[in-house]
């Protein structure tokens, strides 16, 4: 496996792929044609030195992923709106941008409430029965994991989300195909893995696991201070989790691969095998932003493999 630098996400009936500051969204329209939009997103931080600082870059990357993810999801959804809704005046565009920003902010607040505050509140119910702070913190972490996995599994039952998970599989299979030295053809993509160590699912699982370790060893008596520490440590946990995912995507070390296993297992829920039309969309998205032929020549003995 050779790191390619490209990453992406599934959108409504499509795939977004990003390579450095350039990204492409490929969407299967209702008329079955593939629409591809190529644009640039430089991120919330422009200074390269700050942008690439360890730990901090994980926080910036997470925020950028939320912003770009919402933007590309909105773009993909536009193909399935009524015709009269598609006409966008400058005023409506500003309103749309405001709504998008508010949605991202609300999503962050909601995630903090569900995955941080709720497990913490449940753990407080056990304090009168358990004297050990570490055991209580461990229980809190277990509740957090159960809520997270239950949420991921629950939404996978929705028909629309099932299709998103299939496009998620197409995204992974396209990246795995080229990172393992294969030509980006439908046949090669089909037999590539739908699991990838740099997946956002793995990142979120590591956020959950690392939070358990940190919260177990940071002890304060005040319940309010404990809650405050949990909120303040969210960026730190995100940064640490990003550093591991970044390392995993560049390494075939056996220990790193072992630590990546839980995330890959969870991707069994968040990725599904795509059909041929979805693979075609994934390939279109990659080719719009990434010269995979040159990449293969430079990284795999100056030759292209067929299988």
Q: Which two tokens stand for residue 60?
A: 């910036």
**Residue 307 maps to a domain:** no
**Residue 149 maps to a domain:** yes
Q: What is the pLDDT of residue 290?
A: 98
The Cα 259–Cα 65 span in angstroms is 23
For residues 178 and 26, the answer to whether their CB atoms sit within 8 Å is no
The Cα 174–Cα 164 span in angstroms is 15
Report pTM.
0.88
Q: What is the pLDDT of residue 90?
A: 65
Q: What is the pLDDT of residue 92?
A: 63
Crossing angle of the two packed helices 56-77 and 234-248, in degrees rounded to 10: 80
**Residue 201 maps to a domain:** yes
**Residue 305 maps to a domain:** no
Question: Any idea what DSSP says for residue 182?
Answer: B
Q: What is the pLDDT of residue 83?
A: 45
The Cα 120–Cα 101 span in angstroms is 28
The Cα 237–Cα 209 span in angstroms is 9
Question: Around 88, how many Cα atoms within 13 Å sit in the side-chain half-sphere?
Answer: 9
For residues 64 and 244, the answer to whether their CB atoms sit within 8 Å is no
The Cα 251–Cα 197 span in angstroms is 10
Residue ranges making up the domain that contains 197: 6-299
**Residue 94 maps to a domain:** yes
For residues 283 and 166, the answer to whether their CB atoms sit within 8 Å is no
**Residue 208 maps to a domain:** yes
Q: What is the per-residue DSSP string for 290-302?
A: --HHHHHHHHTTT
Give me the tens of pLDDT residue by residue for the chain, a chain 307 residues long: 899 999 999 999 999 999 999 999 999 999 999 999 999 999 999 888 999 999 999 999 999 998 999 899 989 999 987 544 555 566 666 666 666 566 667 777 888 888 888 999 999 888 888 888 889 999 999 999 999 999 999 999 999 999 999 999 999 999 999 999 999 999 999 999 999 999 999 999 999 999 999 998 888 878 788 889 988 999 999 999 999 999 999 999 999 999 999 999 999 999 999 999 999 999 999 999 999 999 999 999 755 544 4
**Residue 99 maps to a domain:** yes
Question: Around 255, how many Cα atoms within 13 Å sit in the side-chain half-sphere?
Answer: 2
Ramachandran category for residue 12: left, alpha or beta (phi over 0 → left; psi -120 to 50 → alpha): beta
Number of domains in the chain: 1
**Residue 101 maps to a domain:** yes
């Amino acid at each position: 496996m050779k790191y390619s630098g490209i990453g992406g996400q599934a959108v409504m009936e499509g795939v977004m792929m990003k390579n450095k500051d350039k990204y492409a969204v490929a969407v299967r329209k209702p008329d079955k044609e593939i629409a591809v939009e190529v644009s640039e997103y430089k991120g919330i931080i422009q200074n390269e030195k700050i942008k690439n600082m360890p730990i901090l870059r994980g926080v910036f990357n997470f925020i950028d992923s939320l912003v770009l993810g919402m933007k590309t999801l909105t773009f993909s959804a536009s193909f399935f709106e009524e015709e009269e809704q598609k006409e966008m005046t400058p005023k409506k565009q500003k309103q749309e941008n405001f709504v998008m920003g508010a949605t991202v902010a609300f999503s962050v607040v909601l995630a903090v409430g569900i995955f941080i505050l709720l497990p913490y509140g449940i753990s407080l119910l056990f304090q009168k029965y358990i004297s050990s702070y570490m055991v209580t913190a461990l229980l809190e972490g277990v509740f957090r994991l159960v809520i997270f996995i239950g949420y991921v599994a629950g939404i996978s039952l929705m028909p629309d989300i099932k299709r998103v998970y299939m496009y998620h599989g197409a995204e992974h299979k396209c990246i795995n195909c080229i990172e393992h030295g294969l030509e980006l053809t439908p046949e090669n993509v089909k037999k590539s893995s739908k699991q990838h160590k740099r997946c956002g699912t793995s990142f979120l699982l590591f956020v959950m696991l690392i939070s358990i370790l940190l919260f177990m060893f940071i002890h304060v008596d005040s319940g309010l201070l404990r809650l405050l520490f949990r909120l303040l440590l969210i960026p730190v946990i995100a940064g640490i989790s990003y550093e591991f995912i970044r390392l995993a995507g560049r390494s075939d070390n056996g220990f790193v691969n072992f630590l990546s296993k839980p995330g890959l297992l969870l991707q069994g829920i968040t990725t599904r095998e795509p059909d041929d039309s979805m693979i075609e969309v994934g390939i279109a998205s990659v080719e719009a932003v990434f010269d995979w032929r040159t990449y293969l020549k430079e990284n795999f003995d100056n030759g292209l493999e067929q299988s």
